[in-house]
Amino acid sequence: MDLPFIPLSQAQNVLLCFARIMALLTAIPAFTGNRIAGRIKIGLAAVTTLLLFPAMAPYTPQAPITTTWFGVLLINEVLIGILIGLVTQMVFAAVSFGGTVIGYQMGFSAANIFDPQTSQQLSLMSQFANILALLVFLTLDMHHFFFRAIVESFVLLPPGPLDFSGGAVDHLMAQASHMFELGVKFSAPVLALLLLTNLVLGILARVFPQLNVFMLSFPLNIGIAFVVIGLTFSATFSVLRREFDTMAENILTVLHLLK
């Protein structure tokens, strides 16, 4: 008995689509970590596969394939989904890096909390930056882009052997280097003001030796950092929006380079 719109003869192709979608869903920011149960991710991937398979079916293998080749294609599909998610995670890794730098400069180096998105201990400001980036990600409806990216990935890169000699690795390395640049841009306003504050406090310590600069620096650095973060919210939103728009282009570029 066939499922609606999906004949049982296409079972292997359905599994190939499911593998790519499952790997992609577990890698995009809104679904990473242990916040969402595994059975919910599997169910969402299965429903997405059933809904999108009619659009992806023309780009799947039409002739019967052997079990060995099916296993190879299954691994390739998982790799493609992970690579697409990796491009997305680089933006959040950059934001997390910038938040960590800000936290250390503010004096929050020992204030670590558990991040359910990465299942790691992160600094307080790094977690704040991650939540801010995730809210911008959802506000811009970037999570809806991935449903379109699933179909476009099958159009650009149907199931088959992957070619890593076309510059895909170099492109990912370039994006990784850009990640650190973005992290510096994200933390630059706060770092500049805190550097100026520490310079003024150093001068005061020389002029007034009785002044306890060490105790004064903690509340002053924290207060200045929060004021700067509040004043630069609009600029931060613009930077994140530009990066998320570029992220879609980077995903398509990686798919082109893997052909």
DSSP string, the chain: -PBTTB-GGGHHHHHHHHHHHHHHHTTSGGG-TTSS-HHHHHHHHHHHHHHHHHHHGGGS--S---HHHHHHHHHHHHHHHHHHHHHHHHHHHHHHHHHHHHHHHHT-TT-EEEETTTTEEEEHHHHHHHHHHHHHHHHTTHHHHHHHHHHHHHHHS-SS---TTTTHHHHHHHHHHHHHHHHHHHHHHHHHHHHHHHHHHHHHHHH-TTS-HHHHHHHHHHHHHHHHHHHTHHHHHHHHHHHHHHHHHHHHHHHHHT-
Predicted confidence at residue 1, as pLDDT, reads 42
Q: What pLDDT is attached to residue 106? A: 78
The residues facing 115 across adjacent strands are 120
* Contact yes or no for 94/32 (Cβ under 8 A): no
Look at residue 157 and tell me whether its pLDDT is greater than 60.
Answer: yes
For residue 240, pLDDT over 60 is answered with yes
Residue 118 CB coordination number (10 Å): 18
Reported confidence tier of residue 174, pLDDT bands at 50, 70, 90? confident
Q: Give the residue among 7, 128, 3 at the shortest CA–CA distance from 62.
A: 7
Res 211 pLDDT > 70: yes
Q: What is the mean pLDDT of residues 39-56?
A: 82
Residues in the chain, overall count: 259
Mean pLDDT value of segment 27-42: 73
